[in-house]
Structure 1
Amino acid sequence: MRLHRLDITAFGPFGGAQHVDFDALGAAGLFLLHGPTGAGKTSVLDAVCYALYGTVPGARQSGQGMNLRSDHAGPGTRTEVRLELTVAGRRLEITRQPPWERPKLRGTGTTVDKAQTWLREYDTTARAWKDRSRSHQEIGEEVTQLLGMSREQFCQVVLLPQGDFARFLRADAEARGRLLGRLFDTRRFADAEKRLAERRRTTEARVREGDTALLADAHRMQQAAGAVMELPELAPGDPGLAEAVLGAAAIARSTVRERLTHAHLRLGAAESAHAEAQRALADVRELARLQGRFAAAQERAERLRERAGAHREALDRMERARKAEAVTPALDLREEAEREHRRAAWAKARALDPLPAADTEAGASALAAAARRTAEELGGLDAARRAERRLAELVEERTGLDRQERADEDVLREADAWLADWDTTRAALQARVDAAQDAATRAEQLAVRREPMERRLTAARTRDALTADLADAQDRARAAGQRALDARAHWLDLKEQRLTGIAAELAAHLTAGEPCAVCGATEHPAPARKVAGHVDREAEDRALAAHQRADEQRAEDERRLGVLRETLAAATAEAGDIPTGQLAAETDELARQYVRARDDASALHAAHEELRHAEREREQRLADRQQAAVRVASRLTRRDGLEREQASLQAELTQARGAAESVAARAAHLERRAALLTRAADAVRAAEEAAQRLKDADARLADAAYRAGFDTPEAATAALLDTAAHRELQHRLDAWQHEEAAVRAVLAEPDTAEAARRPAADPAAAERTAATAEQRLRTAASARDAAARCRTELDGLSARATRAVRDLAPLRDEYDRVARLAALTAGTAADNERKMRLESYVLAARLEQVAAAATARLQRMSSGRYTLVHSDDRSGRGRSGLGLHVVDAWTGRERDTATLSGGETFFASLALALGLADVVTDEAGGVRLDTLFIDEGFGSLDDQTLDEVLDVLDSLRERDRSVGIVSHVADLRRRVHAQLEVVKGRSGSVLRQRA
């Protein structure tokens, strides 16, 4: 990424338009951005960040919110930042305008214009700028994708704020972890830790669920087996639960199978007794049935003898009916001929009734001739009827013209009335659109202000909570310091006492004849003796250990106090001195204003749609008005032609219709007469033919009755039976015949006759005996079924328990594996020697890369004296793997980075910032960064160190980079020739460039 040009208008301290040519400044590779304190040096960097990401760096944003407009700008000048740069081989121009409260164009008061953003790209082929987007979201995504960095990463990598890296050098592992986590986005590793922990809990719950289900099956088996089965006293998750349940189930199955065998034997005996009783009962019932059957057959034979006379009469009636059936076709033919004759006579009377009296006496041929003459007269009226229809069409067309004329007059009148109020309607709708647009802009501004306000409120609450904890931490630190001093004094006292009584310890090791370790004498006439209260080495060591523990506790309490003070200072810097209650009230009020503005802005789309609808309606009414005028003019010509054609047709029809009201009426009269004559001729002819057929049918009927043996047709008709009577009579005859045959068959059966000669049967006694045997059988069968069900249920539950144990085994293995892996990534496993979490491990690797990249520049800046090294050691109870030490080549010792002096801290943090920039750039995808800025810190360097630092910065040009130094150190103006000076004044700051 290389910056080319920056244009600033009414931004920050700059009241007017200012321009920066980075190509000219970066030609020398190193340029200086200087000016007095408060002039606006950092505001130039804020403008670069704002152009790229739409926000300024975090610390300045939290201090000033999104109020980027210069207080020195005129009311008619809009705040604007335009940046031209090359990134990923594309030359882009980004223009951003924040929300602007300006005077209204009409009337008094102010209105707010919403934020605007433009993105253009230079087309090398066309040699012109082309618009790419005007969407805030699209431009933000495009810039982030091209740079490969978020705003926080950009501010750390390109702007290099030295104060942040100085704190990074002195920070503990937790603070370093938070910064590195933001820059390298290690959330996915933290998510992996959480996922493994969740999976461990899930698998553990599933294992417990499996054991619970297994115990539930065991309880069901116990209920099925009764007191035979004893359950193990184990809980879900206990080892050995599955083996104990399966063993108890095996014992229960064996006992239940023995019960089932005994039940089978008892059931077999009961079945034999029951079968014998059933056979005896069947024999008795069969004997009773045969005896009853013989008695019933005798009763039926007696009833048949009583009905013999009625049976002979029914046979005679059936014979006469069969003879009469031969006359039925002639009867049916005569009845059909009589019905046709009546219908024909009625149709003839109906057809002749509408005709005049002269026509009713005519025959069929005369009526047909009259109908032909009427049809010929009707054919001559076809032309007149067409003329009459055309006349009706003309009248209808003239009526339509009148109706259209009235409709067009209504259209013209309504359009004129509506268009007369158009200006008033449009003004009202436009006012609604403007009001909703203002509300939308206000909602965007309030939305931008809400997040900083909520952060300040959170910081204020943190500030209040930490203020209350600070006094306790200070008391604990003072108490720990006093305890450490007391322990040290106690240790020194004991040490002094031991040195005083050291002679007694040496004398305790003297041996006669052996030389003394102090004087060498072999005689020891008066060795020293231990006195009361003597201090030995063990007591001194215990005092020393107590002193070391107290000193470690003091250091830990002081470290916690420092962390608390640093956190409290950050929260106070974020929240300021405003009370939390006031900030909460302001935040709530800002939220309420945002909700009201958003609700008002929701009507913008509806207002726009209503305005567009009104404009379309106006265009439609103008078009309708013009079309109506054209139709009015064309109707005048059409009306004249219709009047001439109507007069000609009326003259022709007057002659054609004669005395009738119209040609259609005359034609209708002729059509009706022709139809009546034709129908009458057909009816007369049909009546004559029906009379002849009736006469022929009477003759055939008389002949058929004589041949069938009847004196008259009426006698044959009386002998006929209808279908129901014939079926009923035949049924009676068949029933008599069947009953007679059945009685003869029963009386002829040898078994039945034999049973009738035996004594009467007693089925009740046999049934009682069979019932007793059946009760014993049901009892035995119930016992057998209960034992079988118990065995089946136990087998099923045992099989299910076996499957559950087999299916649960892989889950137990998975739980063991996941639990080990989750403990390893969480830093709680015994295999994780340094108790390092997965995210900390990744961050440690990144910090090791940063330290290696920073050391390459730190050795040049310190003339080979200092080297940054990464440490995996744990610091107290903090996380391991994020330690950072400096190795001093002059002493050969490794020490903490917090012990560096001010100047050493500066160039160490500068080297760290440059190294971190390289690592983050590689992590972001290798985006080339050709322009860097370094903010402050050079005033703490001596001349020699400053020369070495500038040499390192100047070496960055080897990769065609340009480095901007932001500083007010006077000596840099002599050393760096390319300069951008910020000059402040009462009317705002201005920029002066010298390449």
Structure 2
Amino acid sequence: MRLHRLDITAFGPFGGSQSVDFDDLSAAGLFLLHGPTGAGKTSVLDAVCYALYGSVPGARQSGGQGMTLRSDHAATGTRTEVRLELTVAERRLEITRQPPWERPKKKGVGTTVDKAQTWLREYDVKAGTWKDLSRSHQEVGEEITQLLGMSREQFCQVVLLPQGEFARFLRADAEARGKLLGRLFDTRRFAEVEKHLAERRRGTEARVREGDAALLADAHRMQQAAGSAMDLPELAPGEPGLADAVLEAAALARATARERLAVADCRLTATESARDAAERDLADARELDRLQRRFAEARERAARLAERADDHRAVRERMERGRKAEAVAPALELRDAAETEHRRAAAAEARARVPLPRALADAGPAGLAAAARRAAEELGGLASARRAERRLAELVREREGLDRQEHADEEVRQEAEDWLADWETTRAGLQARVDSAQEAATRAEQLAVQRDPAQRRLVAARRRDRLTDDTEAARRQSLALAEAAVEARGAWLDLKEQRLHGIAAELAANLTDGAPCAVCGATEHPAPARKGAGHVDRAAEERALAAYQAADERRADAERRLGTVREALAAATAEAGDAPTARLAEEAEEIERDYTRARTDASGLHPAQEALRRAEHEREERVAAQQQAAVRSASRVEARERLEREQTSLQAELTRARGAAESVETRAAQLERQATLLTEAADTSRAAADTAQRLKDADARLADAAFRAGFDTPAAAAAALLDDAAHRELQRRLDAWQSEDAAVRAVLAEADTADAARRPPADLAAAERAAADAGRRLREAASARDAAARCCAELDRLSAQAATAVRRLAPLREEHTRVARLASLAAGTSADNERRMRLESYVLAARLEQVAAAATARLLRMSSGRYTLVHSDDRTGRGRSGLGLHVVDAWTGRERDTATLSGGETFFASLALALGLADVVTDEAGGVRLDTLFIDEGFGSLDDQTLDEVLDVLDALRERDRSVGIVSHVADLRRRVHAQLEVVKGRSGSLLRQRGVG
């Protein structure tokens, strides 16, 4: 793969369009990519990765692509775009990518989001033109990945060589190295094989245990079903003879259960006959008791009716008077309505006469109506004067409005003059705020680049300090738990030995006279063994075994935790280095303080710009307002003169119209109120006279109706009336008395009830007790029979289930043994695997051996023949082997761990490892040729001689027409490397400059 040209627009720190001609840079073989911190060196490499894979490396890919990739310096109408031209697999391709873009709407206000775009074109050599291949994100991604043969992570490792990653790789343990190599060489299929075998082993083991547990569970269920008729064998799951002992005990239990079923059937038949006889006697006693109680209740009800006879006659008389009074009810209602209406009309008349003048207080309806007409006629003559008075008020308000406008315009002119006098001073101050905030923003960008690495090192240092204490605590805990496990195992073995010495007493405890002995088969037991003092039974041994197993599990957990803590400590140490935490905290805090100050100062940039813009806009508005106020003041003089003339004419007219009143409106209100009062008084006087006549007529009709109904006075008729509730209550009482009387007579006339009353009282309690006893005996017999039947059925079912389980267990156990052996071998836990090397580790070890061999060829030259990288299969402590990496020092002839290398030695060792890994991964990816490589930082830790040797090694990479780009801040490299790509940082964004190329 060779890069030809890269075009960047509005990407990262590059606000405009920038181009990189890699063909010119590659002509020199070795070129330098340099620039100040935060200028955008890494963004050039990000653009290459984004063009190929649609995302940027590492942590920079988090968040929305369109938001993080777009330059803050870009113009609003400029879209972010990256175009890369390259040759891969002898095909010249051009990839163009545009991330999502939030742009202003073409119509209206607000913004809209354009979707991401991708183009892939190929150069046709014969036609000499570019032809389109695809515009699909997915198709382009699959095509590029297939041509390169590498994922994005692999590409970033072998083309964009990050030295820090490989420095940590040198210091890491086997587990951490395995994770990195597993990502690069994709050994997931071997891990899946390990996982599959482990799952198969757990599955077969679980099925075997489930089979043993199910067989024992069936035996326990058979014992529960058979009760004392079955004894379980004293065997644990997996012990030989367990199946035969269970099946034999089940056969004995089934025979005993069938004998119990036959006895229960006979007993059930006898109890059913006794129960039927007791129930017939109980039914006869209950019927006799019911009839005797029915007759007694009827006699009591007849006596209560006789006591209420007088009350019944009074209720009938009251109902009769109420029916006569109903004929007078309409006349009573008419008279009450007439009286209510008259009182209401008289009260209204009295209220209406109160506000009238004294001269009209006793006038009749006709006089009041005539006075009202005279007031209305006078009110109609004031209509013109009222309009003139309203117009005069409007004129006064118009003059006041003109005065207010004049005063307001004067204030506007004066305020504008005062404000414009200080304009130059104000503008200079606001411009100074904008300049200061822009400088602070630039300073904040520079500090932001230093801030995250410092924080990460500080966090790693604190984690390193905490894990150091955790490692010691975990080591002490692991040692204590190991000692406790040894003690628990010794206690279990002691108890087991004591139980074996007294096992004869346990066997003798189950002997029964006449039953054969489980050991010798004899049916006579003249001298069975007895349990002595301190006898250990099976339960005690099992408790000791469980305690040992629990202690051993706790020991294993503690060892795993210790290993995990040590791995974490190594990773934290590799990232934080040896610097004290306090010093790192001071450095990070100082950077954070400077960054916070710069951000705080920079946050005022937008407000300062807005304040300047608002001030300029306000100046324009004040000048315009000053001019408009002068124009309005001149136009108000003529309007004021016209208003004064009209006001003088109207005042003369109103003086004649209002008379003694304060105003025409006041006089009109007085006449209007007087006409209303007189009209209302006339109407209420006529209504009172009409209601008085209707009341007199109603009294006469009421007296005549009461006399015809048989009442002496209308008041007596009113008192005899019944409302609906009282009428319903009296009728209910009459109906209830009659219904009760009829019911009592019917009961006393029944022949069987009278006959039962003459017999002796029924003994219901004795009959119920006899029936209950018979029912209880029947239920007991039925329950016993059902229990015996269920016992037989359950024993048959469980026996068949146990026989099936015995036949199924044999092949399962053979399969488990075979799978468990394979899984342990692949996981590195088998005794046959002497180096405890997992299958995936075995494959990665071969890859690591290839990487070490390829890296050594370059490391020997960079270290002047001193260092050699070698792969090691040796185990480290309790860990597994296969991924060890050592360095051989030719000066001492000794082999040591790569973590002991110094800073400069670690750099060129990691560089050699990165280059070697690039070659191996390239071969793994299908042999894709990588003609363009980038190496990131780390050169500052080298002395001059070592730097020359490293540059010679890098320069040798172009022997096969390969170009290498160095990303570094080291000033000495600018003299040694002539071809350079410089990133220049500015306020409007960064720029790219190529130097030293033809």
Match in the other structure for 1:444: 449
**Shift, 1:664, TM fit:** 3.9
Conserved? CA contact 2:389–2:664, under 8 Å: yes
Conserved? CA contact 1:2–1:931, under 8 Å: no
Match in the other structure for 2:698: 697
**Shift, 1:373, TM fit:** 4.8
**Shift, 1:591, TM fit:** 3.8
CA distances 1:843-898 after superposition (whole Å, capped 9, x unpaired)? 9699999999xxxxxxxxxxxxxxxxxxx999999769x9xxxxxxxxxxxxxxxx
**Shift, 1:982, TM fit:** 10
CA distances 1:411-459 after superposition (whole Å, capped 9, x unpaired)? 9599789987776677568657755753552241254577799999999
Distance 1:238 1:798 in 2: 19
Q: 912, 919, 922: which one pairs with 1:920?
A: 922
**Shift, 1:287, TM fit:** 2.5
Distance 1:323 1:407 in 2: 94
Match in the other structure for 1:331: 332
Q: Which amino acid in the other structure matches residue 742 of structure 1?
A: A
Map 1:543-562; keep pairs closer than 5 Å: none
1:342 is the counterpart of 2:335: no
Conserved? CA contact 2:261–2:785, under 8 Å: yes
Conserved? CA contact 1:294–1:752, under 8 Å: yes
CA distances 1:329-359 after superposition (whole Å, capped 9, x unpaired)? 1211111111111111111222222222444
**Shift, 1:742, TM fit:** 1.8
Q: TM-score, normalised by structure 1?
A: 0.51
Distance 2:700 2:764 in 1: 74
Structure 2 vs 1, CA of residues 828 and 752 (structure 1 numbering), >3 Å: closer, same or farther? closer
Q: 929, 932, 940: which one pairs with 2:931?
A: 929
The percentage of aligned residue pairs carrying the same residue is 46
**Shift, 1:321, TM fit:** 1.6
Distance 1:620 1:689 in 2: 82
Structure 2 vs 1, CA of residues 407 and 641 (structure 1 numbering), >3 Å: closer, same or farther? closer
SS in 2 for 1:660: coil
SS in 1 for 2:760: coil
Match in the other structure for 1:87: 86
**Shift, 1:753, TM fit:** 1.0
Map 1:271-670; keep pairs closer than 5 Å: 273=274, 276-375=277-376, 377-379=378-380, 381=382, 412=415, 434-435=439-440, 438-448=443-453, 586-597=583-594, 599-600=596-597, 603=600, 606-608=603-605, 610-611=607-608, 614-615=611-612, 618=615, 622=619, 625=622, 629=626, 633=630, 636=633, 637=635, 641=639, 645=643, 648=646, 651=651, 654-670=655-671
Distance 1:254 1:640 in 2: 133
Structure 2 vs 1, CA of residues 54 and 670 (structure 1 numbering), >3 Å: closer, same or farther? same
SS in 2 for 1:326: coil
Match in the other structure for 1:680: 681
**Shift, 1:155, TM fit:** 9.2
Distance 2:235 2:361 in 1: 119
**Shift, 1:817, TM fit:** 11
Distance 2:442 2:244 in 1: 75
Distance 1:742 1:299 in 2: 12
SS in 2 for 1:355: coil
Conserved? CA contact 2:271–2:778, under 8 Å: yes
Instruction: Please list every run of 5 or more consecutive structure 1 residues that lacks an aligned counterpart in the other structure.
Output: 7-19, 34-39, 56-82, 94-123, 125-142, 162-171, 461-570, 853-871, 883-908, 941-948, 967-978, 984-990
Q: Which amino acid in the other structure matches residue 704 of structure 1?
A: A
SS in 1 for 2:660: coil
Q: Which amino acid in the other structure matches residue 923 of structure 1?
A: A
Distance 1:402 1:254 in 2: 125
Q: Which amino acid in the other structure matches residue 86 of structure 2?
A: V
When Rg is computed on C-alpha atoms for both structures, the one with the higher figure is: 1
Conserved? CA contact 1:260–1:784, under 8 Å: yes
Map 1:195-274; keep pairs closer than 5 Å: 197=194, 215=213, 218=217, 221=221, 225=225, 227=227, 273=274
1:53 is the counterpart of 2:52: no
**Shift, 1:727, TM fit:** 3.3
Q: TM-score, normalised by structure 2?
A: 0.50
Question: In the comparison of the two structures, how many residue pairs are matched?
Answer: 698
Structure 2 vs 1, CA of residues 700 and 259 (structure 1 numbering), >3 Å: closer, same or farther? farther
SS in 1 for 2:695: helix
1:761 is the counterpart of 2:766: no
Structure 2 vs 1, CA of residues 718 and 598 (structure 1 numbering), >3 Å: closer, same or farther? same
Structure 2 vs 1, CA of residues 707 and 433 (structure 1 numbering), >3 Å: closer, same or farther? farther
1:727 is the counterpart of 2:732: no
Q: Which amino acid in the other structure matches residue 443 of structure 2?
A: D
Structure 2 vs 1, CA of residues 841 and 145 (structure 1 numbering), >3 Å: closer, same or farther? closer
Q: Which amino acid in the other structure matches residue 674 of structure 2?
A: R
Q: Which amino acid in the other structure matches residue 680 of structure 1?
A: A
SS in 2 for 1:87: strand
Q: Which amino acid in the other structure matches residue 761 of structure 2?
A: A
**Shift, 1:755, TM fit:** 1.3
Instruction: Please list every run of 5 or more consecutive structure 2 residues that lacks an aligned counterpart in the other structure.
Output: 8-19, 48-81, 97-122, 124-143, 164-169, 466-569, 855-870, 886-910, 940-944, 950-954, 967-975, 981-993
**Shift, 1:295, TM fit:** 3.2
Distance 2:739 2:706 in 1: 35
Conserved? CA contact 2:225–2:795, under 8 Å: yes
Q: Which amino acid in the other structure matches residue 442 of structure 1?
A: L
Distance 1:632 1:284 in 2: 119
Structure 2 vs 1, CA of residues 196 and 146 (structure 1 numbering), >3 Å: closer, same or farther? closer
Conserved? CA contact 1:196–1:821, under 8 Å: no
Structure 2 vs 1, CA of residues 379 and 830 (structure 1 numbering), >3 Å: closer, same or farther? farther
SS in 1 for 2:328: helix
Distance 2:451 2:210 in 1: 57
**Shift, 1:690, TM fit:** 1.9
CA distances 1:171-212 after superposition (whole Å, capped 9, x unpaired)? x9x999999997x97447344544555566567667777888
Conserved? CA contact 2:207–2:812, under 8 Å: no
Q: Which amino acid in the other structure matches residue 189 of structure 1?
A: D
Structure 2 vs 1, CA of residues 400 and 175 (structure 1 numbering), >3 Å: closer, same or farther? same
Conserved? CA contact 1:2–1:930, under 8 Å: yes
Distance 1:222 1:400 in 2: 110
Q: Which amino acid in the other structure matches residue 731 of structure 2?
A: Q
Structure 2 vs 1, CA of residues 626 and 26 (structure 1 numbering), >3 Å: closer, same or farther? closer
Match in the other structure for 1:671: 672
Conserved? CA contact 2:931–2:963, under 8 Å: no
Q: Which amino acid in the other structure matches residue 438 of structure 1?
A: R
Q: Which amino acid in the other structure matches residue 765 of structure 1?
A: A
Structure 2 vs 1, CA of residues 587 and 913 (structure 1 numbering), >3 Å: closer, same or farther? closer
716-725 vs 239-248, which moves further:
239-248
CA distances 1:903-940 after superposition (whole Å, capped 9, x unpaired)? xxxxxx99x9999769828939957738999x999x99
**Shift, 1:590, TM fit:** 3.6
Structure 2 vs 1, CA of residues 201 and 846 (structure 1 numbering), >3 Å: closer, same or farther? closer
SS in 2 for 1:682: helix
Distance 2:384 2:146 in 1: 87
Conserved? CA contact 1:385–1:663, under 8 Å: yes
Conserved? CA contact 2:257–2:788, under 8 Å: yes
**Shift, 1:824, TM fit:** 8.6
Q: Which amino acid in the other structure matches residue 925 of structure 2?
A: E
Distance 1:256 1:237 in 2: 29
**Shift, 1:778, TM fit:** 6.7
Conserved? CA contact 2:841–2:882, under 8 Å: no
Conserved? CA contact 2:410–2:629, under 8 Å: yes
Structure 2 vs 1, CA of residues 789 and 994 (structure 1 numbering), >3 Å: closer, same or farther? closer
Distance 2:21 2:160 in 1: 18
Structure 2 vs 1, CA of residues 187 and 678 (structure 1 numbering), >3 Å: closer, same or farther? farther
Match in the other structure for 1:987: none
